[in-house]
Amino acid sequence: MENSKVIFGNELLDAYKNDMDNAVVNYWDRTYPKQVHFSLNYSMLSRHLLLLGGAGSGKTNVFKLTMTQLREKASTNDVFIVFDTKGDFYEGFGKDMDLILGNSKEYREKSQRWNIYDEVLADGENPEDYEVNAREIAASLFEDRGSSSQPFFSNAARDIFAHALIYFIREAVNNPADGLRKLNNKSLTDFLLNANGSDYEKMFNKYSDMKGVMSYLGDGTSNQALGVLGELKSMLYDLFIGVFNDNDMHGRFSMRDSVRKKQGRAIFIEYDLMTGETLTPIYRLLVDLALKEALGRSDSEGGNVYMILDELKLLPKLKHMDDALNFGRGKGVKVIAGLQSINQLYDIYGEAKGKVIAGGFSTLFAFHTSDNESREYVSKLFGTNVVGYHYTGIDGVIEKREREGYAVETWDQSSLNIGEAVIGLADNENPFLFQFTEYKDR
């Protein structure tokens, strides 16, 4: 009979229990569903949680176990931003007071109508504030558009779009009778899709600091002008559709304003599988705006901003994610995200920054995955160890040997059952195996 013992380094435990008086989320073992086996408190959640595992490995079940408890304990000083890729979260946790943004047929009637001007004006009517916001939003909407070898046309279209936002806000501020309340996405796109060179000339020549924009267009008939306007219209046709291109007849919504008000609400961003990647810049912008607002809060404001991001790969190049993970703790930001493969982060951000972002999640639930890179990431994360073995040989002599390896080997991960994960808690040296109970059983 062979016996083994870890003599150096971390060890993958078969069982673990951490009773907490201040627990926020409790997880139960499927074998003993009446007994709490481990918990997370606010401090641990503020250091963020990553659920890593292949499709069907059990991530959604744990998202549901987590979400239901957070909502039960939420106060009016909390807010949830939920990126819902399959509709599970809204269906299971949506309340009458919650807000939903969804362009699919299922959600269109109940969806909020996003207003880009309200985001630009989220910091007030001082030009120094809203002009920066306009340029930042324009840059986000135009990111990855156009040709990498000839970025001129896309960049010029971005500048025209940003200046158009600024122009219409100036006009509204200078003409109180019309008012800022009349600014909406539909009026913006109607103008930009139908304007000719003369219209742009009249608009931008009105303000001295905008005259330079006309260098992109000339009289509006050159090949350069047609290329620039083509890029602009392409973006508008792709992104400003459905609930993202409406007037104020069905209300108006600002992500930053909603995060600021909190009220214990959840804001559900419903991923439209039909338009999917086409609307990705809009989804990315909405989540980035939520992160920006959360990071701009004062440390004394209190409350929690929960970012529930199922399938993080569908939100590429979030500009504020790195800051949220590294500096959001004092602002009440708590990110809970799901990934099918660590390579999804590397593909989006590059391997170096992807590792930095992955490292920003201090708690990891690693489910079964067939992806070799993900298994290697988990193994390296928990480090190496040395295991000592002793056994009795056939001659009756006790033999001893040592083996250097990983605390969590790739075969440990390959043998995980559905709903079973390797758990690495913030500040907990040793990872442990855990079989989560099913949400329906709670």
> Which of these three, 244, 275, 299, is where a domain ends?
244
Task: Please give the average per-residue pLDDT across 17-37, as a whole number.
Answer: 83
232 & 295 share domain:
no
CB atoms within 10 A of CB 49: 23
At 61 the pLDDT is 96
Which domain covers residue 52, as residue numbers? 2-112+253-441
> Which of these three, 244, 274, 298, is where a domain ends?
244
268 & 233 share domain:
no
Q: How far is residue 420 CA from its own chain's centroid? A: 24
Task: Please give the average per-residue pLDDT across 308-337, as a whole number.
Answer: 94
At 9 the pLDDT is 82
288 & 418 share domain:
yes
Instruction: Tell me how far apart the alpha carbons of residues 368 and 421 are, in angstroms, rounded to a whole number.
Output: 7
136 & 103 share domain:
no
121 & 189 share domain:
yes
Q: Report which of residues 18 and 149 the model is more confident about.
A: 18
306 & 380 share domain:
yes
> Which of these three, 194, 216, 244, is where a domain ends?
244
At 90 the pLDDT is 93
Instruction: Tell me how far apart the alpha carbons of residues 295 and 272 are, in angstroms, rounded to a whole number.
Output: 27
261 & 376 share domain:
yes
Residue 441 has pLDDT above 70, yes or no: no
Give the pLDDT band of residue 393 (cuts 50, 70, 90). low
Q: How many domains does the chain have?
A: 2
157 & 78 share domain:
no
Kindly report, residue by residue over 114-167, the tens digit of the pLDDT: 999 999 999 999 999 999 999 999 999 999 898 777 899 999 999 999 999 999
294 & 381 share domain:
yes
At 180 the pLDDT is 75
367 & 266 share domain:
yes
CATH number at residue 274: 3.40.50.300
273 & 397 share domain:
yes
272 & 398 share domain:
yes
Kindly report, residue by residue over 249-276, the tens digit of the pLDDT: 778 999 999 999 999 999 999 998 887 7
Comparing 11-20, 225-234, 343-352, 411-420, the range with the smallest average pLDDT is 11-20
At 33 the pLDDT is 67
Contacts of 256 (CB under 8 A, 6+ apart): 118, 119, 122, 289, 290, 292, 293
Kindly report, residue by residue over 200-215, the tens digit of the pLDDT: 999 999 999 999 999 9
Residue 58 has pLDDT above 90, yes or no: yes
